Amino acid sequence: MNIAIVCYPTLGGSGIVATELAYKLAQKGNKVHLVSYSLPFRFNKFKENIYFHNVPITNYPLFEFPMYTISIAAKLAEIVQNENIEIIHCHYAIPHTISGIIAKEIIKDYQKVKVVTTLHGTDVTLVGKQENFRQIVQFALNKTDAITCVSEFLYHSTIREFSPNKPIEVIPNFVDTKEYKRQKIPSLRRRFAKDTEKIIIHISNFRKVKRVPDVVLAFELIQKEIPSRLLLVGDGPDFSEVESLIMKLNLKDKIWCLGEQTSVVELLSISDIFLLTSETEGFGLAALEAMSCEVPVVCYNVGGLKEFIHDGKDGFLIPIGKIDLLAKKSIELLSNDTLRTKFGKKARQTAIESYDSELITKKYLNLYTSLLNGDTL
């Protein structure tokens, strides 16, 4: 199959899902054309059958704003014709599906192509709900050939908010459990913590929705009971606020701010628990990657997280905003090696059994095939 995948290249789960899907589809012999305005940040290894297409964002002095949506549409129309693309898979309804629909319309007299839209989160839960975006998201969903959502939670939010005119398939996010596997790296662990200390990790793009200050506040309580260090991985708009809080709480010596990292397996491998404090998550891919590395997750009970984190079995789900409880449950795990290991093993089992990339890639391939065969979804 010849497939074009459009995604945001920036730090975030949707770009990761799109890139990892591209790798898996290419490995299975499909020709995959990844389309974005710069290299997606996990697109960092050479693999056969994947081609990257950079979308030039024109900045002509007459126009105050870059014309991102139509630049992508133009690039897609070109690739679909030159590479005989059968499927355009858009990650994010806005603007990518709009671009896909425009491209399809441009070439409709010479070539047929199907547009698949995968909804990830903010396009539905936050951005899509703003009144000025509602109609355009609705239009995108009604015009695309197929819609997938990364969780049941997002499925229900999408139906509630937009009532699309076609069925939605839930295809959850995935992890390559062969790559995301706990490694023994004592030398790396010692770079960040003493042998007597535990390591807590948080990975995100430091947006408001992630509530990273809650991680720092919970850590403040945890480190009073358990000698520990916190690894903060990622960067984003709230980073300065988080840094100020760290200084104010006098925690600078106990927290490592590591910035954006393309490979997190090593860091997850030396970590004891993963703290996630988002107020919503379409899915919560970073948590699944942690689980695959046997790191139990302690997080707020929001969005799609409860679909793969089993409270009291492979992680803990805490009512939103309850920082005391977040700390208490973290301490429970950090103070009991047997319990933490049990949770970690169970977490990996969950990842392998239900969310491995092999399993989920097949679902996308089945969807593409049904669309091309004209089956009713």
Question: Of 125 and 228, which CB lies nearer to ligand GMT in the complex structure?
Answer: 125
282 in contact with ligand GMT (CB under 6 A)? yes
Site for ligand GMT in 202-231 (CB under 6 A): 209
Site for ligand GMT in 122-151 (CB under 6 A): 122, 125, 150
12 in contact with ligand GMT (CB under 6 A)? yes
114 in contact with ligand GMT (CB under 6 A)? no
350 in contact with ligand GMT (CB under 6 A)? no
90 in contact with ligand GMT (CB under 6 A)? no
Q: How far is the CB of 245 from ligand GMT (least distance, A)?
A: 21
Of all residues in the shown chain, the one whose CB is closest to ligand GMT is 121
95 in contact with ligand GMT (CB under 6 A)? no
157 in contact with ligand GMT (CB under 6 A)? no
120 in contact with ligand GMT (CB under 6 A)? yes
86 in contact with ligand GMT (CB under 6 A)? no
283 in contact with ligand GMT (CB under 6 A)? yes
Question: Of 78 and 279, which CB lies nearer to ligand GMT in the complex structure?
Answer: 279
289 in contact with ligand GMT (CB under 6 A)? no
Q: What is the 3-state secondary structure (H, E, C) of the chain?
A: CEEEEECCCCCCHHHHHHHHHHHHHHHCCCEEEEEECCCCCCCCCCCCCEEEEECCCCCCCCCCCCCHHHHHHHHHHHHHHHHCCCEEEEECHHHHHHHHHHHHHHHCCCCCCEEEEEECCHHHHCCCCCHHHHHHHHHHHHHCCEEEECCHHHHHHHHHHHCCCCCEEECCCCECCCCCCCCCCHHHHHHHCCCCCEEEEEECCCCHHHCHHHHHHHHHHHHHHCCEEEEEECCCCCHHHHHHHHHHCCCHHHEEEEECCCCCHHHHHCCCEEEECCCCCCCCHHHHHHHHCCCCEEEECCHHHHHCCCECCCEEEECCCCHHHHHHHHHHHHCCHHHHHHHHHHHHHHHHHHHEHHHHHHHHHHHHHHHHHCCCC
Q: How far is the CB of 164 from ligand GMT (least distance, A)?
A: 18
Sole window of 26-34, 114-122, 261-269, 306-314 interacting with ligand GMT (rule: CB under 6 A): 114-122
Positions touching ligand GMT (CB under 6 A) are 8, 12-15, 17, 120-122, 125, 150, 173, 209, 280-285
